[in-house]
């Protein structure tokens, strides 16, 4: 269970539209206007406590991700979307408006989604050689060729 603390009177608990959804919609606790080709910080008025997993090599973090409808319709993207388990301050969403129109966020609007994600805490080790793979060193766009 992820615990959520409402920090303001305008804050709302995250919700899921459908039980099978990966993410929980999070809401703006105040209004803001984001100009074209600019970013803005949208306050949610919530703080979360992410539980510690029992398995020693795994942990959780919450990823703040775009809402597909806002991205497709308005060109809205989310920057800086990692909430580590140790952070318990307000969730503030860094929103980027890639469109040519200003984007108006009203108090109570769904602005992003938070997705609980398992991470593996295994250490990184230096290696002098890496294993072979079919893809190898082929980079950007190489899987479509």
Query: pLDDT tens digit string along 73-88?
Result: 999 999 989 999 999 9
pLDDT over 90 at 138, yes or no:
no
Give the percent of the chain with pLDDT over 90: 81
Question: Which pLDDT score is estimated for 24?
Answer: 98
Structural domains present in the chain: 3-121 (2.70.40.10)
User: 19-31 burial by CB neighbour count: b if 16+ within 10 A, else e?
Assistant: eeeebbbbbbbee
pTM, 2 dp:
0.86
In this structure, how many other beta carbons lie within 10 angstroms of the beta carbon of residue 95?
A: 23
The span from the CA of 29 to the CA of 11, in Å, is 5
Question: Which pLDDT score is estimated for 145?
Answer: 55
pLDDT over 70 at 28, yes or no:
yes
Question: What string of DSSP letters covers 6-40?
Answer: E-STT----B-SSTT-SSEEEE-SS-EEE-TTEEE
* β-pair type (3-6, 90-97): unpaired
Query: pLDDT tens digit string along 95-128?
Result: 999 999 999 999 999 999 999 999 988 878 899 9
pLDDT band at 144 (very low <50, low <70, confident <90, very high): low
Q: How far is CA 33 from the centre of its chain?
A: 20
Question: Which pLDDT score is estimated for 143?
Answer: 66
């Amino acid at each position: 269970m992820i615990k959520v603390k409402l920090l303001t009177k305008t804050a709302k608990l995250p919700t899921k539209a459908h039980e099978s959804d990966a993410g929980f919609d999070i809401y703006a606790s105040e209004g803001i206007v984001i100009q074209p080709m600019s970013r803005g910080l949208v306050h949610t008025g919530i703080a979360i406590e992410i539980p510690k997993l029992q398995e020693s090599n795994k942990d959780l973090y919450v990823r703040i991700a775009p809402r597909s409808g806002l991205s497709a319709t308005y060109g809205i993207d989310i920057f800086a979307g990692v909430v580590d388990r140790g952070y318990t301050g307000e969730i503030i969403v860094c929103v980027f408006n890639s469109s040519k129109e200003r984007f108006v966020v009203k108090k109570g609007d769904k602005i992003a989604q938070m997705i609980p994600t398992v991470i593996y805490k295994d250490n990184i080790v230096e290696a002098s050689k890496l294993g072979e793979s079919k893809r190898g060193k082929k980079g950007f766009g190489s899987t479509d060729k």
